[in-house]
């Protein structure tokens, strides 16, 4: 913790908050907190919210925490394929990479796609090729066949230890930043669900799925089983709910209720959302209790949202 108490609005005592302080940063999971603190310092050093999102997420990607980036959980064939996207409110700009291999900082490649190409999204070998052309830090992926063999041996046991969607398999940093001038930026980076099929793309690099930023309204991000997020354009909907006047917390809860109403009652959806609005309100909700990190000048904490 780098500060004091949070002040909650009257109607949001248990499940969200609000602050006048800027920058305001919210991210998924406790491992987002050190990333938030890097993002805070980045804005305090006079850099943009976009720089802050990139720096904060790079910090988590490089942490070797076995959740995000190259140290993240391998896919069903034994190697990490990474997804990332970034959005910047002014100009409604976005960049994204999907199923990229052997690149240390997918969030920076997503930003480069946004800033240097006429495209929004690059995938697979093409995304790696672009990253190499641009000089991004990479590792050799020619060892892949050996890894596949070793992985097959372990696979059965690992699966029974931590089924996809369980807490141990969460592996996504999504970060939203509201800057001093009201600018919003967001980013998302993940190794995706453990044991996913090679080539599987989750919600994280999909705009409106794992992340959505609307500079007039607010921003929302997701983590959890991507298939249960992207089929509902969940973060786009959260931002639209906020546009209609819902608080970030209520908007996150409402999309979970909506998704639940379409799915079988006993299905473990394993989805979680964070959101902030232009006014500095923030909130989160999950299908289980959902720890997320909130940081602003004088405050940096892991909060836990109630299960919906
Ligand atoms: C995915 N949404 O690839 C990601 C996984 C995740 O916490 O967020 N896990 O579906």
CA of 144 to the centre of ligand 1 (A): 23
Are the C-beta atoms of residues 166 and 45 closer than 8 Å to each other? Answer: no
C-beta 205 within 6 A of ligand 1? no
Residue 74's pLDDT is 83
Pocket test of ligand 1: the residue of 73, 162, 190 to mutate, having most ligand atoms within 8 Å of its CB, is 190
Residue 171's pLDDT is 81
Among candidates 106, 99, 117, which has minimal Cα distance to 226? Answer: 99
CA of 104 to the centre of ligand 1 (A): 18
Among candidates 174, 176, 173, which has minimal Cα distance to 67? Answer: 173
Please list, in sequence order, all residues whose beta carbon lies within 8 angstroms of the beta carbon of residue 125, skipping any fewer than 6 positions away: none
CA of 186 to the centre of ligand 1 (A): 16
Are the C-beta atoms of residues 92 and 82 closer than 8 Å to each other? Answer: no
Residue 298's pLDDT is 97
Residues of the chain short of pLDDT 70, as ranges, are 1-15, 66-67, 145-170
Are the C-beta atoms of residues 273 and 285 closer than 8 Å to each other? Answer: yes
- Give the Cα separation of 116 and 238 in Å (integer): 29
Ligand 1 atom, smallest distance to 191 CA: 3
At 81, give phi and psi (nearest 5°): -115, 125
C-beta 288 within 6 A of ligand 1? no
Pocket test of ligand 1: the residue of 199, 203, 222 to mutate, having most ligand atoms within 8 Å of its CB, is 203
Q: Which CATH class is domain 7-305?
A: alpha beta
Are the C-beta atoms of residues 185 and 177 closer than 8 Å to each other? Answer: yes
Domain limits of the chain? 7-305
Model pTM?
0.91
CA 99 → CA 110, 113, 114, 150, 204, distances in Å? 12, 15, 17, 21, 11
Residue 79's pLDDT is 84
Residue 45's pLDDT is 98
So which residues are the catalytic ones?
A: 172
Q: Locate tokens 């509201």: which residue?
A: 178
Please list, in sequence order, all residues whose beta carbon lies within 8 angstroms of the beta carbon of residue 41, skipping any fewer than 6 positions away: none
Tokens linked to 104: 């240390």
- Give the Cα separation of 61 and 47 in Å (integer): 20
Residue 104's pLDDT is 95
C-beta 171 within 6 A of ligand 1? yes
Residue 7's pLDDT is 46
Residue 12's pLDDT is 44
Residue nearest to atom 3 of ligand 1 (CA): 192
Are the C-beta atoms of residues 189 and 82 closer than 8 Å to each other? Answer: yes
CA 159 to chain centre: 24
Residue 159's pLDDT is 55
Please list, in sequence order, all residues whose beta carbon lies within 8 angstroms of the beta carbon of residue 265, skipping any fewer than 6 positions away: none
Q: Locate tokens 């931590």: which residue?
A: 162
Tokens linked to 180: 């001093």
Ligand 1 atom, smallest distance to 170 CA: 7
User: Following CA atoms 254, 258, 264, 265 in sequence, which dihedral angle do they give, to the nearest 10 degrees?
Assistant: 30
- pLDDT tens digits, 216-238: 999 999 999 999 999 999 999 99
Among candidates 105, 65, 63, 58, which has minimal Cα distance to 82? Answer: 105
C-beta 170 within 6 A of ligand 1? yes
C-beta 225 within 6 A of ligand 1? yes
């Amino acid at each position: 913790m780098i500060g004091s108490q949070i002040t909650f609005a009257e109607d949001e005592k248990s499940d969200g908050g609000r602050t006048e302080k800027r920058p305001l940063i919210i991210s998924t999971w406790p491992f987002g907190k050190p990333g938030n603190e890097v993002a805070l310092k980045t804005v305090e050093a006079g850099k943009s919210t976009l720089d802050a999102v990139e720096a904060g997420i790079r910090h988590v990607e490089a942490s070797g925490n076995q959740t995000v980036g190259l140290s993240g959980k391998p896919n069903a064939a034994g190697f990490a394929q990474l997804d990332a996207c970034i959005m910047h409110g002014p100009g409604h700009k976005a960049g994204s990479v999907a199923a990229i291999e052997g690149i240390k900082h997918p969030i920076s490649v997503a930003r480069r796609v946004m800033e240097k190409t006429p495209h929004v999204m690059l995938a697979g070998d093409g995304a790696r090729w672009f990253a190499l052309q641009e000089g991004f830090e990479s590792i050799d992926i020619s060892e892949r066949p050996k890894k596949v063999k070793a992985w097959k041996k372990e696979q059965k046991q690992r699966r029974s230890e931590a089924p996809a969607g369980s807490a141990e398999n969460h592996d996504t940093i999504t970060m939203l930043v509201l800057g001093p001038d009201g600018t919003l930026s967001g980013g998302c980076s993940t190794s995706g669900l453990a044991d996913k099929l090679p080539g599987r793309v989750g919600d994280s690099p999909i705009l409106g799925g794992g992340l959505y930023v609307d500079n007039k309204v607010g921003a929302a991000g997701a983590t959890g089983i991507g298939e249960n997020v992207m089929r509902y354009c969940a973060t786009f909907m959260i931002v639209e709910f906020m546009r209609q006047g819902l608080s970030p917390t209520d908007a996150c809860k409402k999309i979970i209720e909506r998704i639940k109403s379409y799915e079988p009652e006993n299905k473990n959806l394993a989805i979680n959302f964070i959101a902030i609005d232009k006014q500095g309100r923030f909130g989160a909700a999950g299908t289980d209790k959902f720890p997320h990190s909130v940081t602003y000048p004088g405050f940096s904490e892991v909060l836990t949202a109630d299960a919906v």
